Amino acid sequence: MSSIRLIVSDIDGTILDQQHQVDPDLIELIPQLQEKKIPFILASARSPIGIAPIARRLGVHQEPIACYNGALIVKGEEILFEHSLKKDEIRTFLHRVEELDPSISINCYSGAVWFNSREDQWTQVEASITGETPQIQPLSQTLSDDALHLHKLLLIGETQNIQELYQKLDPQEFPQTAFYLSKENYLEVTAKSVSKRDAVLELAAYYQVPLEQVMTIGDHFNDLPMIRLAGLGVAMGNAPEAVQKEAQVVTTSNQEHGVAQAIQEYVLPPSNK
């Protein structure tokens, strides 16, 4: 196996435990990775503001972060890569959503800014999880600003409503847009070209590291593309069985220091310390 020179990791369910805390064992390992000049990169569906405090807690805030599942990769204030939604198609998409179910909470994300047309129970829940505050303005205003690049939409509602909406939306009507359920009542929307796989390709090129020397770690289906791609794809012990089956390696769960365990075993073996 080639020595690992780049690590790209998911956040929720991976480096965070069930109490949403960063694994202290992983925090202790980061300086050893930095000493060996092995970047540890966070890749998540979260926004830059949602990722930044976790990066600081880990001590990797000087590195790039891959936000919105790779729709936006930033390093500090600098945009390294971005894949924004096509406004014309998104206007049609959201008109269809509002026709089908006006109760759905429509959340729009551009860079570090979160927009919603109203403050409802769903924005309150999301704000409590992420620590972010939405900017309230009419949806028409958000969509009409051509200078505003939208990187992700998040549609939230009652589980039955979101599931029915997902079934009624026809992907063939929106060829440049991808939408998928990230939770039973969360429908995420990004440009079709967005995936963690492409984020890893871009990051590997940025660091000039061949894919066989890249390690990726994740716990869910949206992590599968990057797990399949990397030289060493690692699934968490708490990942669904279907995800574990496709990984080269399965580590322990996020409650059992899974990421730290994998790094200890495959990146920082005792003989190399």
Each residue's pLDDT tens digit, 104-160: 999 999 999 999 999 999 999 988 877 889 999 999 999 999 889 999 999 999 999
Mean pLDDT across the stretch 180-194? 91
Residue 129, pLDDT score: 78
Residue 2, pLDDT score: 52
Average pLDDT of the chain is 94
Confidence category of residue 66, pLDDT binned at 50, 70, 90: very high
Q: Where in the chain is the domain with CATH 3.30.1240.10?
A: 87-191
% of the chain at pLDDT higher than 90: 89
Q: Convert the pLDDT of each residue in 190-224 to its tens digit.
A: 999 899 999 999 999 999 999 999 999 999 988 99
pLDDT of 273 above 90: no
Q: Was domain 87-191 assigned CATH 3.30.1240.10?
A: yes
% of the chain at pLDDT higher than 70: 98
pLDDT of 98 above 60: yes
Q: Was domain 6-82+194-272 assigned CATH 3.40.50.300?
A: no
Residue 1, pLDDT score: 45
Confidence category of residue 243, pLDDT binned at 50, 70, 90: very high
Buried b (16+ CB within 10 A) or exposed e, 202-217: bbbebbebebebbbbb
Residue 246, pLDDT score: 97
Residue 269, pLDDT score: 72
Confidence category of residue 181, pLDDT binned at 50, 70, 90: confident
Mean pLDDT across the stretch 31-46? 96
pLDDT of 79 above 80: yes
Q: Convert the pLDDT of each residue in 5-31 to its tens digit.
A: 999 999 999 999 999 899 999 999 999
Q: Where in the chain is the domain with CATH 3.40.50.1000?
A: 6-82+194-272
pLDDT of 45 above 80: yes
Mean pLDDT across the stretch 180-190? 90
